[in-house]
Amino acid sequence: MQAQVMSGQQRWDWAGLGWLFLFFWYFSGVTHLLIQLTGTTGFASFRQAFLLSAIWLIPVLLFPARARAITGGIGLLLWACSLVGLGYFCIYGQQFSQSVIFIMFESNMAESSEYFAQYFAWWMVPVYLLYTLGAWLLWQRVRPLAFSRNQALLLSLALFVALLAYPLGKQVYKHGNWPVVLEKFEARVEPAVPWQLVVGYRKYLEQLGDMQLLLDGNAKVAPLQQLQDAQAGQPSTLVLVIGESTNRQRMSLYGYPRATTPKLDKLREQLAVFDNVVTPRPYTIEALQQVLTFADEQNPDAYLTTPSIMNMMKQAGYKTYWITNQQTMTKRNTMLTTFSKQADEQVYLNNNLNQNARQYDGDVLKPFGKILADSAPRKFVIIHLLGTHMSYKYRYPAEYDQFTDRQGVPDWVTDDQLPTYNSYDNAVLYNDFVVSSLIEQFSASKPNGFLLYLADHGEAVFDSPKGNVLGRNEGKPTAPMYTIPFMLWTSEQWRSHSPASYQAELSRPYSSSNLIHTWADLAGLRAAELDPSKSLVSANFKERPLMIGDPYQPKSLIDFSLIKPKAPAPARPADLAQK
């Protein structure tokens, strides 16, 4: 094509450039467009994939005579890589991430094949064919760009600076630390094809190495001394459900005026509802390092050198399971995955690239049913929910969008804050469905055992007229960040030989950092390392200050009573206690 000339100067070939960009964007854009249309996650990944698609314009601009060959070669690579993300979204409705790579490589061939073939349907073949046809039709519109050499060089330089040099330089200037710079830069390019595979695999290797170091350390931990089991030889199933970001002050079970927990309210006579339990820290990883181990504010590193609750239950002869709806292989969640790998079997349900993605906890019910049907006589099951984690609107399906007005909302909540306030209550409502369904499912199996539910930490969602606080901030603690639900359901068979009533214990001040002692007490376990005075249900319970804060900065630790709400807790019905 001959260059067009106007007023003695060559025009910019925007039309040709537009078709070329559309061709490269197509391989990232189709999947991200589907993600946006289904409301699976936010706009950030779409934006980054859109911008990074322009980087492939540079080689075509620099070598215009070979435009079709270059675009064809690059397009073939992008097409092959994009099939992975597109297919994964079609099957699971999730954005591809390194968590998928983790499951692929950590499973045997049969399990991996089952993982990808489980939901394969005939309609995926025409989807792939139609998708490929779209790419081929766009490639037919590609032509050599009618730019002068200077124009091509100028535009290539602008793209390189805008898309690579400036973002990278900005991170270098801001952080200076190469691992941090690399992490930030990878997060920027990861949503685009083929970087989701390249970056995902590199992250998988890095996080796998970190996890293996932790697992190797855990394997060297000495077992509990003089372990005794009062239930030894009896078939039993014990279930620990860990919620996420759920503040008990927003649950009608604990006196909140809105009916956010109607199903648990109906089960109340079957529950022991403890109303004075707090978490030691307002962050998942840091909290669970204490909740699931012997670590506490005085010994924060004990999670590395002492048995975890999974180790303890395996030593007692239980087959152990971990079902999680949390993200699997991310830098933050490597510790959670390490805990999960300490169990005999794992079920990973959430492989989204972003935490802020639509993911429902109802997905845990099916694998829980399979585990209940397992023939193992003694089972210990941990179910880790996504609960009411931000963004709240992604935590519940449309039918649970029931709180939409100001009824029951404090006057201080502004019109701008109202949608977020309501969506949190809706998330609590759906969490009520999930937790109550787990209890009902467990009860239907007629087990000899119990189910304990607690949240890892709370969440502040405009709960106070002062501060307009949303989320969690250990440096500026508020009560909703630490007040967590803590409730116990026991089966009829379990009560027949362990007929404890917890009426006197329901209001004991307690930190979930000592959970392992309470759990062992409930399960009938005794060992030299276990301290009955730290068990919430023990006759030897000793009241202690509820210390919160960063244990690695001892001066920052404070007693929870200093931020405790001044208003008295709602009155508890007389029939609340476990009978």
Residue 299 clears pLDDT 90, i.e. is over it: yes
Residue 109 clears pLDDT 50, i.e. is over it: no
The pLDDT of residue 121 is 63
Nearest alpha-carbon partner for 294 in 515, 453, 511, 452: 515
The pLDDT of residue 312 is 98
What DSSP designation does 370 have?
A: H
Nearest alpha-carbon partner for 74 in 131, 26, 123, 9: 26
| Contact predicate 4/146, CB 8 Å | yes
pLDDT average, residue stretch 541-560: 93
* 198 contact partners, CB below 8 Å, separation of at least 6: none
The pLDDT of residue 329 is 62
> Is residue 321 assigned to a domain?
yes
Are residues 186 and 248 both part of a single domain?
Answer: no
| Contact predicate 347/322, CB 8 Å | yes
Are residues 157 and 22 both part of a single domain?
Answer: yes
Nearest alpha-carbon partner for 481 in 417, 560, 410: 560
Lowest mean pLDDT among 6-10, 265-269, 534-538: 6-10
Are residues 49 and 165 both part of a single domain?
Answer: yes
Are residues 174 and 295 both part of a single domain?
Answer: no
504: exposed, middle or buried (Cβ count in 10 Å: 0-12, 13-18, 19+): exposed
pLDDT average, residue stretch 11-24: 89
Residue 315 clears pLDDT 80, i.e. is over it: yes
325 or 11, which is more confident: 325
Mind listing the pLDDT tens digit for each residue in 171-216?
A: 888 888 888 888 888 888 888 899 888 887 887 777 778 778 888 9
Listing DSSP states for 499-552 in one string gives ----GGGTT--EEGGGHHHHHHHHHTEE-TT--GGG-TT-TT------EES-TT
CA–CA distance, 395 with 386 (Å, rounded to integer): 8
Alpha-carbon torsion angle 112, 115, 120, 124, nearest 10: -70
Query: What is the model's pTM?
Result: 0.77
The pLDDT of residue 354 is 65
The pLDDT of residue 298 is 93
> Is residue 335 assigned to a domain?
yes
The pLDDT of residue 256 is 97
Q: How many residues does the chain have?
A: 579
Are residues 353 and 476 both part of a single domain?
Answer: yes
* Residue 3 pLDDT grade (very low, low, confident, very high; cuts 50, 70, 90): very low
* Residue 103 pLDDT grade (very low, low, confident, very high; cuts 50, 70, 90): low
For the beta carbon of residue 131, count every other beta carbon within 10 angstroms.
Answer: 20
The pLDDT of residue 173 is 87
The pLDDT of residue 571 is 38
| Contact predicate 472/286, CB 8 Å | no
Number of helices (H) and strands (E) in the chain: give both, helices first: 19, 17
85 or 419, which is more confident: 419
pLDDT average, residue stretch 543-563: 92
Q: 394: which 2 tokens? A: 């992604």
Are residues 106 and 159 both part of a single domain?
Answer: yes
Q: How far is CA 306 from the centre of its chain?
A: 26
Mind listing the pLDDT tens digit for each residue in 357-375?
A: 788 999 999 999 999 999 9
The pLDDT of residue 295 is 96
| Contact predicate 550/473, CB 8 Å | no
pLDDT average, residue stretch 536-548: 96
* Residue 573 pLDDT grade (very low, low, confident, very high; cuts 50, 70, 90): very low
Domain limits at 393? Answer: 221-576
Looking at 153, 178, 204, the residue that finishes a domain is 204
Looking at 204, 237, 258, the residue that finishes a domain is 204
Cα–Cα distances (Å) from 143 to 55, 254, 393, in that order, read: 17, 67, 45
Residue 565 clears pLDDT 70, i.e. is over it: no
For the beta carbon of residue 73, count every other beta carbon within 10 angstroms.
Answer: 12
Are residues 181 and 253 both part of a single domain?
Answer: no
H or E element that contains 73 = helix 67-92
252: CATH: 3.40.720.10
Q: 273: which 2 tokens? A: 């509802």
* 569 contact partners, CB below 8 Å, separation of at least 6: 254, 255, 275, 276, 507
Q: What angle do CA 166, 171, 174 make, to 5 degrees?
A: 120
* Residue 519 pLDDT grade (very low, low, confident, very high; cuts 50, 70, 90): very high
Residue 333 clears pLDDT 50, i.e. is over it: yes
The pLDDT of residue 358 is 83
> Is residue 41 assigned to a domain?
yes
- What mean pLDDT is reported for the chain? 88
Are residues 193 and 229 both part of a single domain?
Answer: no
* Residue 575 pLDDT grade (very low, low, confident, very high; cuts 50, 70, 90): very low
* Residue 117 pLDDT grade (very low, low, confident, very high; cuts 50, 70, 90): low
Residue 114 clears pLDDT 80, i.e. is over it: no
Are residues 460 and 506 both part of a single domain?
Answer: yes
Residue 355 clears pLDDT 70, i.e. is over it: no
Are residues 169 and 288 both part of a single domain?
Answer: no
Q: 230: which 2 tokens? A: 């009062």
Cα–Cα distances (Å) from 229 to 493, 524, 562, in that order, read: 18, 6, 39
Looking at 174, 204, 234, the residue that finishes a domain is 204
What DSSP designation does 165 have?
A: I
Q: What angle do CA 505, 511, 517 make, to 5 degrees?
A: 75
Going by their DSSP bridges, the two strands 470-471 and 460-461 should be labelled as antiparallel
Are residues 188 and 240 both part of a single domain?
Answer: no
Q: Which long-range contacts (CB under 8 A, 24 or more apart) does 254-259 make?
A: 254/485, 254/569, 254/570, 255/569, 255/570, 255/571, 257/408, 258/403, 258/407, 258/408, 258/425
Residue 342 clears pLDDT 60, i.e. is over it: yes
pLDDT average, residue stretch 499-516: 93
512 or 472, which is more confident: 512
Mind listing the pLDDT tens digit for each residue in 25-34?
A: 999 999 989 8
Nearest alpha-carbon partner for 470 in 167, 239, 247, 268: 247
- When divided into structural domains, the chain yields a total of 2
> Is residue 211 assigned to a domain?
no
What DSSP designation does 221 have?
A: S
The pLDDT of residue 187 is 83
* Residue 268 pLDDT grade (very low, low, confident, very high; cuts 50, 70, 90): very high
* Residue 102 pLDDT grade (very low, low, confident, very high; cuts 50, 70, 90): low
578 or 539, which is more confident: 539
Helices (DSSP H) in 373-526: which residue ranges? 418-444, 492-497, 515-523
Residue 100 clears pLDDT 80, i.e. is over it: no
> Is residue 210 assigned to a domain?
no
Mind listing the pLDDT tens digit for each residue in 46-82?
A: 899 899 999 999 999 999 889 999 999 999 999 999 9
Listing DSSP states for 126-162 in one string gives HHHHHHHHHHHHHHHT-------HHHHHHHHHHHHII
Are residues 79 and 159 both part of a single domain?
Answer: yes
570 or 37, which is more confident: 37
The pLDDT of residue 215 is 87
The pLDDT of residue 99 is 64
pLDDT average, residue stretch 139-156: 90
Place of tokens 């007629």: 446
